[in-house]
């Protein structure tokens, strides 16, 4: 274990009062269990181009897999530069439309929601009706430092319209091959976001499962609500990272309150943290029980999230109304939303000219072509009004 992570574990535990030792043990034990699992390594394919069967199998079994070192230094540095310039364009607080230097803030002219704020180290979703009440329990909210701001950036929705580097990594050809392997070549997009967990500020995301619409479907199976890719721009630790309950994606809708009652605390038994270095990418089944604690450690985590669905999970389905307004997703709606994939591939081609771009079958079959230039970003404005929220 890296010594700076131990410092963060100790700092985190110290916020938990009489539960400090229990929290410390939970973080250390979870980290040890995570590191013993057989679901991390480079993203590899067979000679015929299929996802390596052992990766597919481990993902199926555990509901997540960590592709180590997938994003190279140059791309990581592009992503971090974009994140830094986005930060400079954040409004001064949730009520403001200007930046610290008085300029117009990022996304203020958008119709779709984008930057969401939270009380520092709060749990803004837990125990509320937000997202159809999926975050059943409020997690412990540690006290932030006296000089902490009243609120801190928490999640950025529709993130691809604000960062070309995030748009480009969305079209990483190996990741899109995985999307095709898991959800079929006609896979559909879901939603993209940034989870922002600054040390001493980053809020918790209470335990939850992500799916909403298909739990009682006759066609229900463990992958029907799709998955998320989580690109780690700075890495992810037991303190600041997402925790998951391996295998819980197979259990249908889980009663999280009773998991917590069984554990006797919010420290759900058997959960493990996603331990990642910068440049690792996690594939995470949306049905898995997962959540993250407030970031009381010393390391920053920013996760560049993007998800994909099977077409059959979204086509002619009434949306959940969580990430976007609830409508029936017909063919045209999905076609329009999928243009983001085409633009992302075109944008990536400009930056990584030597790489073989991913060929998205629905665009290929329809003869749809996408170009990318200096002024193309505008075409993504408010694209998240069409997120496929299931």
Ligand X SMILES: O=C(O)CCC(=O)C(=O)O
Residue 102 CB, nearest distance to ligand X (Å)? 31
Name which position in 169, 242, 294, 390 contacts ligand X (CB under 6 A): 242
d(CA 133, CA 112): 21
Q: Is residue 320 a contact partner of residue 383, using CB atoms and an 8 Å limit?
A: no
205 binds ligand X (CB under 6 A): yes
Closer to ligand X by CB, 78 or 210: give it.
210
Asked if residue 163 binds ligand X (CB under 6 A), the reply is no
* Exposure string over 205-240, b if 16+ CB within 10 A, otherwise e: bbbbbbbbbbeeeeeeebbbbbbbbbbbbbbbbbbb
Q: Is 17 left (phi over 0), alpha (psi -120 to 50) or beta?
A: left
Alpha carbon distance 324, 68 (integer Å): 32
- Radius of gyration (C-alpha) of the chain in whole angstroms: 20
What DSSP state is assigned to residue 267?
A: S
Total residues at the site for ligand X (CB under 6 A)?
A: 9
Is the CB of 213 or the CB of 303 nearer to ligand X?
303
Comparing CB distances to ligand X, the nearer of 105 and 388 is 388
For the bound state, the minimum distance from the C-beta of residue 303 to ligand X, rounded and expressed in Å, comes to 5
Which residues, including other chains, have CB under 8 Å from residue 359's CB and lie 6 or more apart? none
Binding mask 177-196 for ligand X (x = CB under 6 A): ------------------x-
Q: Measured between alpha carbons, how far is 12 from 240 in angstroms, rounded to an integer?
A: 9
- Is residue 275 part of the contact set for ligand X (CB under 6 A)? no
| Binding status of residue 243 toward ligand X by CB under 6 A | no
Q: 305: which strand partners? A: 193, 230
Q: Which is nearer to ligand X, 71 or 242 (CB)?
A: 242
Q: Closer to ligand X at the Cβ: 91 or 126?
A: 126
Q: How far is the CB of 327 from ligand X (least distance, A)?
A: 22
Burial (CB count <10 Å: 0-12, 13-18, 19+), residue 298: middle
CB neighbour class for 17 (10 Å; exposed up to 12, middle 13-18, buried from 19)? exposed
Nearest-approach distance from CB 101 to ligand X, in angstroms = 29
User: CA-to-CA distance for 31 and 14, rounded, in angstroms?
Assistant: 18
Are the CB atoms for 212 and 134 separated by under 8 Å?
yes
Closest distance to ligand X from the beta carbon of 389 (Å): 12
Residue 83 in the binding site for ligand X (CB under 6 A): no
Give least dist CB 191 to ligand X, A: 9
Using rule CB under 6 A, residue 162 touches ligand X: no
Contact map string, positions 290 to 329, toward ligand X, x by CB under 6 A: x-x----------x-x------------------------
Does residue 248 touch ligand X according to CB under 6 A? no
Tell whether residue 154 is a contact of ligand X (CB under 6 A): no
In a 10 Å sphere around its CB, with 0-12 CB exposed, 13-18 middle and 19+ buried, how is residue 160 labelled? buried
- Minimum CB distance to ligand X smaller for 91 or for 291: 291
Minimum distance from residue 194 beta carbon to ligand X (Å): 9
From candidates 75, 82, 164, 210, binder to ligand X by CB under 6 A: 210
Contact set for ligand X, span 15-34 (CB under 6 A) = none
Dihedral sign from CA coordinates of 350, 352, 355, 361: negative
Residue 225 Cβ, how far from ligand X at the closest point, in Å? 11
Nearer to ligand X, 136 or 228 (CB): 228
Give the nearest distance from C-beta 242 to ligand X in angstroms: 5
Question: How far apart (Å, rounded) are the C-alpha atoms in residues 183 and 338?
Answer: 14
Shortest Å distance, C-beta 215 to ligand X = 16
> Are the CB atoms for 187 and 315 separated by under 8 Å?
no
165 is an interface residue for ligand X by CB under 6 A: no
| Binders in 215-234 for ligand X, by CB under 6 A | 228
Q: How far is it, in rounded angstroms, from Cα 96 to Cα 117?
A: 12
Residues that bind ligand X (CB under 6 A): 195, 205, 210, 228, 242, 290, 292, 303, 305
């Amino acid at each position: 274990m890296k010594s700076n992570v131990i410092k963060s574990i100790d700092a985190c535990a110290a916020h938990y009062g009489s539960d400090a030792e229990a929290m410390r043990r939970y973080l250390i034990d979870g980290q040890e269990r995570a590191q013993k699992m057989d679901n991390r390594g480079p993203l590899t394919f067979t000679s015929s181009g299929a996802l390596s069967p052992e990766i597919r199998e481990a993902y199926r079994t555990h509901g997540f897999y960590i592709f180590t070192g997938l994003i190279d230094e140059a791309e990581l540095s592009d992503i971090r530069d974009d994140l830094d310039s986005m930060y400079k364009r954040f409004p001064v607080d949730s009520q403001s439309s200007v930046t610290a230097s008085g300029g117009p803030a990022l996304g203020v002219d958008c119709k779709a929601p984008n930057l969401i704020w939270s009380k520092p180290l709060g749990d803004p979703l837990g125990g509320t009706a937000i997202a159809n009440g999926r975050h059943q329990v409020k997690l412990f909210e540690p006290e932030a430092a006296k000089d902490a701001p009243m609120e801190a950036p928490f999640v950025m929705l529709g993130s691809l319209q604000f960062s070309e580097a995030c748009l480009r990594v969305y079209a990483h050809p190996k990741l899109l091959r995985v999307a095709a392997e898991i959800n079929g070549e006609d896979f559909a997009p879901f939603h993209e976001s940034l989870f922002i967990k600054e040390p001493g500020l980053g809020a918790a995301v209470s335990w939850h499962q992500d799916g909403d619409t298909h739990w009682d479907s006759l066609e229900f199976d463990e992958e029907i609500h799709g998955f998320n890719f989580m690109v780690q721009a700075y890495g992810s630790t037991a303190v600041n990272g997402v925790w998951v309950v391996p295998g819980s994606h197979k259990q249908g809708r889980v009663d999280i309150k009773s998991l917590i009652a069984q554990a006797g605390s919010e420290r759900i038994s058997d959960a493990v943290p996603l331990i990642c270095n910068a440049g690792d990418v996690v594939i995470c089944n949306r049905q898995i029980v997962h959540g993250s604690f407030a970031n009381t450690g010393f390391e920053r985590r920013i996760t560049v999230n993007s998800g994909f669905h099977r077409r059959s999970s979204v086509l002619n389905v009434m949306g959940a109304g969580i990430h976007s307004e609830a409508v029936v997703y017909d063919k045209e709606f999905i076609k329009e939303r999928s243009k983001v994939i085409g633009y992302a591939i075109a944008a990536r081609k400009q930056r990584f000219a030597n790489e073989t771009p991913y060929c998205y079958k629905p665009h290929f079959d329809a003869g749809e072509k996408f170009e990318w230039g200096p002024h193309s970003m505008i075409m993504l404005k408010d694209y998240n009004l069409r997120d496929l929220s299931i």
